[in-house]
Chains A and B, each alone.
Chain A
Amino acid sequence: MTSLQTAAAEMEKDVEFDPAAVSIIRQHWIDRQLKKRELEFTEYRTVTVFCGTYNVNAKIIADEEVQRLEEWLFPDAGELADIFAVGFQEVVDLNAVNVAMDGKSQQRAQAWQDKLDAVLNNKRREERYVLVAERHLVGILLLVFVKGVHSKKVREVYGASVGVGLMGMAGNKGGVSMRLKFYDSYLCFVCAHLAAHRENVEGRNSDFTNILQKTIFVDKALSGEADTPVTGQGDVTEETRKYFSEVLDVESTLQTGISILDHDVVFFMGDLNYRLDESVDTEECFAKLKAHDLDFLQRYDQLNMERIQGRVFSGFSESPLNFLPTYKYQPGTSSYERRPEKKLRCPAWCDRILWRAKEPEQVRCLSYRRAELGLSDHKPVAAQLLTKVRMVVKAQRQEVAAEIHRLLDKVENDQHPKVTLEVFDNSTLGSPRPLNTIDFGLVRYGVECRQALTITNVSNVAAHFRFVPKLEEETICKSWLSIQPRFGMLLPNEVGQINFKILIDLKTAKMLNTGRDLLDDILILRLENGQDFFLSVGGTYARSAFGMDLEDLASCHGPVRFLPLTAAKWSQFQSSTSTADKPHLPPTSVGGPTLSVPKELWRLVDALYRRGLTEKDLFIQPGVLTEVEGVREALDTGEELEENVSVHSLTEVLLSFLTSLASPVIPRNLLPSVEIDAQILRPWTRRFLEQLPPLNYNIFVYLVSFFREVLKYHESNRLNTEKLATICSKTLLPCNELHWGDSVEVASGPAVGKGEEHQRLQSMQVIFHYFLTTSVF
């Protein structure tokens, strides 16, 4: 393929109409409608979320002391949280080995998990808690537990860890996060340990930003398997899928990733490491602490200052710091670290808990305080946050969804085009007929019949209609029918016309005469995106001598028209007729009920014999169409031939009658297989006559005798032997190409067969010539 072709192919693809895209967009619309009406099917439930953060300074609490954790974990007596999100920092020493290998962390994480589990599930209390998940990165650990009663309401749990320490990526600093769906709200918990050192405010700010940016929840299992598109939209191409990836389904969202701020509520806890502003002197700080002037100190808290400046934690909330700074303590005591051998540090609120809710009123802080555990150089901090979570009431949601779909269905169904059909009808004026029937009435051989139907678009969308074939059929109708047009489009209120034409040709006539076909068909008119109409098309075939079998014709004494059309009835009819009372009949052959030649042939030849022998250009000039049809009709119904009908119309009917016969007067097997020369001509023609079946013999002799009579008047009718031999060839021999329409153009010579066939026709020409010029019978 050339690049041009490729480009063309691409373009073609671009403009291709994609039903999958429509249905995805539609799905998206439904989702948005539902979202808009969310309040109608959403109930809120307030749960208590405990968030705790504790920098343990690589210490671990002894088993016999774990009960002391209760002070931290249950800060408000009697209030048992529904969710416990507990964050630790420095569960291991942040030395180079631990940072690089992260080996000891697993063990420590497990130890803390076990200890928390023991406290939370203390037998003294009835409530039981189950771990949702644990996640750690070097010294940072996050554990999330939920009350047992909620365990079935926790879904779609994913974790993520981001290191922002050494080189901007090591795990000595960073954040560990967990997200989950709780009832129908999405919650995200982050436990972070940000950059240290009093002067490094910017480092902390940028650590925070990095954690937000780099934390992406991805489902590894899902991102691994690109198959099983769950769309319900049928076949979705890869391009379409890509284009709509963000709305297509949950997996694709989880494949590309969800960020922290995508959640309904974010709980952010940790050793955020913000200190007091450097303008506050350490001694001054201690003095203020002694005076319990926390308001003053809060104003100089770096995090508070940075947040007011909008440089970090934007959109987050925090309760007032109504507890003493949590850092830095002399481990195991409740005294700030002021030992002379240690570096003097200004106390600070390093350990913090903030939240961010999409709807601010969703979260209310119940308590924010510290515990007095002496394990580490930090004190643990706890916040109890009353959080409203969404609960979808499925039955109500279903009702709303049903309403949305009803609306959509109504619009869609109203978009279906609608048309009315009316049949033009002259023949049965005044008698209304079903609109789905096109009745042609009596249909005659070789006479074109027309009917029409009007189709009116009564909808307000464009209507595309077309006739379609029936299942496993290739054509939209039987061969005797033609439809014009077969398809079309109508604008609203536009009226169109569909024309139907029946023409019974020789092939159909033969089928109809033998009951192998009926003038009856059902058409399927399809209105795209609307409905199908069934149209019954039919008529009564006016049986005609044309296209009949010689034997049948000869045994039929009455007019052919009144013969029944099915094979079974036909034989009954035959036996019940007699020649006696019928006019215009040729003589009956000896001993049988069969006529010696078909009466139709006899009537035509008889008329020509009486009126036409001297007609100029006899057999050469064509007849008049209406007269031809009249003569045919008279032959079929047994009525008198009109006396003033032109001789040429009679000859035309005669020739077309002969060529219409179901089997030719001269059977195929009697054609010469050898070249006929003067020597064998005489014996050959004798045998030929002997071999002709009796009825065919009668007809042949009858016709040749008539032609010889015609030749006697050649001076006035201008015929000659040559021309008549050609006429014989055209009408008496088996020849598929011929039909009633062109039988008069005899001047052009016999139809040309190929090779051997041609040879035979040549020979027959010689033989006809012989019969026309020699008196053999």
Chain B
Amino acid sequence: MSSGGGSNSNNRVCHFKLVLLGDTAVGKSCLVVRFVRDEFFEYQEPTIGAAFLTQAVVLEDSTVKFEIWDTAGQERYRSLAPMYYRGASAAIVVYDVTNAESFKGAKSWVKELQRRGDPSVIIALAGNKADLAGTRRKVDLKEAEEYARENGLLHFETSAKDAQNVKTLFVEIAKRLPKAVAPVEREAFPIVAPKASKRSCC
């Protein structure tokens, strides 16, 4: 044992399942690819199935290892989604800020998660393609924020293309996940006030 113990205890890795949901072509796969490989493909193929990747987020006092399931957004596969969000600790519901319909879709995904997902699931709402918002915005930021607030969701406008807020999105989710912390790390040793010392020998 190296240093009398505990020097690495703040690097404990906690594993969590995270699922991405949302209508087709909103950019779920692109967000994952940006987060995991820091790449972006203009011609990302639609996901037909569910892809699995792992990626860690190192926080100040713990590390969250995400087991990410990127699901298919096409309507045809909607009924298969519960298989992937079941047991998930976190979910990212994605919409496309240039597509009002996809925001409606996101709301229905949120509703489904609230009804059928894990009761303690942490949901983040991501308005993707924010790089296009300047000219083609169809979903009002205020409205989305308001909706997120009412439903207790995290909310970010992201862009898989220019990487904006992608890391933040995952980090903020990681911070909210419940983690076990080693007791010795919880607080500084309570130093005995000299007068009140009652420490007995043994």
Contact = CB atoms under 8 A, between A and B. Distances in A.
B4 A262 contact: yes
B183 A230 contact: yes
Interface in A488-539: 522, 524-525, 529-534, 536
Interface in A186-239: 186, 188, 222, 228, 230-234
A398 B201 contact: no
| Residue of A250, A525, A530 with most partner-chain B CB within 10 A | A250
| Residue of A31, A232, A531 with most partner-chain B CB within 10 A | A232
A31 B72 CA distance: 37
B199 A133 contact: yes
B56 A408 contact: yes
B1 A246 contact: yes
Interface stretch (A148-156, A325-333, A769-777): A148-156
Contacts of A27: 12-13
B58 interface: yes
B25 interface: no
Interface stretch (B77-85, B98-106, B123-131, B144-152): B77-85
A258 B9 contact: no
A472 to B, nearest CB: 8
Contacts of A531: 49-52
B117 to A, nearest CB: 13
Given A34-B8, A246-B1, A250-B184, A130 B193 contact: yes
A413 B9 CA distance: 26
B54 interface: yes
Interface stretch (A177-185, A285-293, A453-461, A637-645): A177-185
Nearest to B80: A470
Contact of A534 (B3, B15, B77, B184): B77
A105 B201 contact: yes
A433 to B, nearest CB: 13
Interface string B149-191: 0000000000000000000000000000001111111001101
Interface in A347-405: 394-395, 398, 401-402, 405
B11 A31 contact: yes
Interface string B70-97: 0010001101101100100000000000
B132 interface: no
Contact of A230 (B55, B181, B193): B181
A114 B180 contact: no
A84 to B, nearest CB: 12
A556 B153 CA distance: 58
B135 interface: no
A71 interface: no
Interface string A101-143: 0100110011001100100000000000011111111000000
A156 B184 contact: yes
A534 B48 contact: yes
Given A401-B58, A405-B58, A254 B5 contact: yes
Nearest to B56: A405
Contact of B197 (A131, A152, A230, A249): A131
Given A31-B11, A34-B11, A401-B58, A230 B5 contact: no
Contacts of A161: 201-202
Contacts of B2: 35
Contacts of B54: 409, 412-413
Contacts of A117: 194-195
A132 B62 contact: no
A31 B5 CA distance: 12
A151 B191 contact: yes
A307 B185 CA distance: 39
A23 B48 CA distance: 30
Ranked nearest first, the 6 interchain pairs of A and B with the lowest CB-CB distance are A186-B4, A405-B56, A232-B14, A250-B6, A31-B8, A253-B5
25 contacts: A26-B13, A106-B200, A114-B195, A133-B199, A146-B191, A152-B188, A159-B199, A161-B201, A186-B7, A230-B180, A231-B180, A250-B184, A251-B182, A254-B184, A262-B5, A264-B4, A398-B58, A402-B56, A412-B54, A413-B55, A436-B49, A470-B80, A471-B86, A531-B52, A534-B77
Given A114-B195, A136-B201, A232-B179, 10 more contacts: A117-B194, A154-B189, A154-B191, A186-B7, A246-B1, A250-B184, A258-B5, A401-B11, A409-B36, A436-B48
Interface of A: 23, 26-27, 30-31, 34-35, 102, 105-106, 109-110, 113-114, 117, 130-137, 146, 151-157, 159, 161, 179-181, 184-186, 188, 222, 228, 230-234, 246, 249-251, 253-254, 258, 262-264, 394-395, 398, 401-402, 405-406, 408-409, 412-413, 416, 434, 436, 470-471, 522, 524-525, 529-534, 536
